[in-house]
């Protein structure tokens, strides 16, 4: 079954936009956004918190096993 004329014309009209998606002219981008970010994407506080939680979840079962209590 052939494609209807209206759909074919819409496909041809929007086919040129495929390579332009996500691209923007540099004159519309602020100078801060043009430069690559040098710092880490995750804050130091969040990294410390995650290490504390993961490390604590490893240490607690060890202490519970030594003390003879129930292990989760």
| pLDDT tens for each residue of 26-57 | 666 666 666 665 666 788 999 999 999 999 99
| Tokens (6 digits) for 51 | 């290490």
Q: What span, in angstroms and rounded, lies between the C-alpha atoms of 54 and 51? A: 5
| pLDDT tens for each residue of 6-22 | 988 888 887 776 666 66
Domain extent listing, the chain? 43-72
Cα-based angle 71, 62, 50 (whole degrees, multiple of 5): 100
């Amino acid at each position: 079954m052939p494609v209807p004329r209206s759909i074919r014309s819409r496909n041809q009209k929007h086919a040129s936009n495929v390579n332009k998606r996500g691209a923007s002219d540099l004159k519309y981008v602020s100078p801060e956004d043009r430069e690559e970010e040098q710092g880490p994407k995750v804050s130091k506080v969040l990294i410390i918190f995650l290490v504390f939680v993961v490390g604590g979840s490893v240490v607690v079962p060890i202490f519970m096993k030594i003390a003879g209590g129930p292990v989760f």
